[in-house]
């Protein structure tokens, strides 16, 4: 029996991961923002034999997240918590608005922290468990077309890498997930070519395999990961010149 908790499970990678882990004997605790879509994911997972508890929650609500995670852990101890909930905002050729920037930081940073800290607290008591933080290859270098999104994902990448060392002393594994372009609600509005674009189900299988192997960083696809690493290593002046020529995203949230 395995108990997996996933935020942002109503669509995209979160929904695909729920389907990957759905099997007879599995327990899934799922949350998302869209009731109808979350219910549909839960039904599909139950059809695969999993026991599912789905709850609509705002990951930005610290108290609600703490209470939900503690309640789910008290039912059956959590084995894996995936902090996946996140949003993006396109620029449409201009900078992200002040409101978009604040919303991105609140969801992608505070929402992740509100998931990871209570998960680590319950796992620390029994000195076991695994936490996965969904970042992005966009977090390797700030992109002029999406500076707040890049910054939020970069912050969670570094935080997760640091936590991997500190929580290892408590018997907790931490993995940072850095996908490239995946077909989700975040990318569907992009009107520019997205190299190595993959469907969410394939991305979920790559993630689940990496988590099963205990990898600290799961970055994919490999060619995009190499380009992201190179972009972060380039001299700033050249990187700025290059990234200013990349297309901007359409507005989305």
Active-site residue, from 21, 149, 159, 220: 149
From CA 217, how far away is CA 174, in angstroms rounded? Answer: 9
From CA 118, how far away is CA 110, in angstroms rounded? Answer: 13
Dihedral of the CA atoms 160, 165, 119, 150 (nearest 10)? 0
Mention every residue, 6+ apart, whose C-beta is less than 8 A from residue 253. Answer: 87, 88, 89, 100, 103
**To which residue do tokens 């609509």 refer?**
56
* Residue 21 bears catalytic tag: no
Burial environment of residue 185 by CB neighbours within 10 A (0 to 12, 13 to 18, 19 or more):
middle
38 preceded by cis ω (within 30°)? Answer: no
Active site residues per annotation: 149
């Amino acid at each position: 029996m395995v108990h997996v908790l996933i935020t942002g499970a109503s669509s995209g990678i979160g929904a695909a991961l729920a389907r990957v882990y759905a099997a007879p004997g599995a327990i899934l605790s799922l949350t998302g923002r869209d009731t109808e879509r979350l219910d549909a994911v839960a039904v599909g997972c139950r059809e695969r034999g999993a026991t599912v508890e789905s709850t609509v929650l705002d990951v930005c609500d610290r108290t609600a997240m703490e209470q939900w995670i503690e309640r789910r852990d008290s039912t059956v101890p959590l084995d894996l918590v995936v902090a996946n909930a996140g949003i993006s905002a396109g620029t449409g050729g201009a900078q992200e608005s002040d409101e978009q920037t604040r919303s991105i930081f609140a969801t992608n940073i505070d929402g992740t922290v509100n998931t990871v800290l209570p998960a680590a607290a319950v796992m620390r008591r029994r000195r076991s468990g695994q936490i996965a933080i969904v970042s992005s290859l966009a977090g390797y270098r700030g992109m002029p077309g999406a500076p707040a999104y890049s910054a939020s994902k970069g912050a969670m990448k570094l935080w997760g890498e640091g936590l991997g060392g500190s929580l290892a002393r408590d018997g907790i594994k931490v993995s940072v997930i850095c996908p490239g372009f995946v077909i989700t609600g975040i990318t569907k509005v992009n009107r520019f070519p997205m190299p190595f674009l993959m469907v969410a189900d394939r991305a979920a299988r790559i993630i689940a395999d990496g988590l099963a192997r205990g990898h600290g960083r799961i970055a994919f696809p490999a060619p995009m990961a190499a380009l992201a690493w190179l972009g972060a290593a380039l001299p700033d002046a050249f990187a700025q010149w290059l990234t200013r020529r990349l297309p901007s995203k359409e507005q989305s949230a």
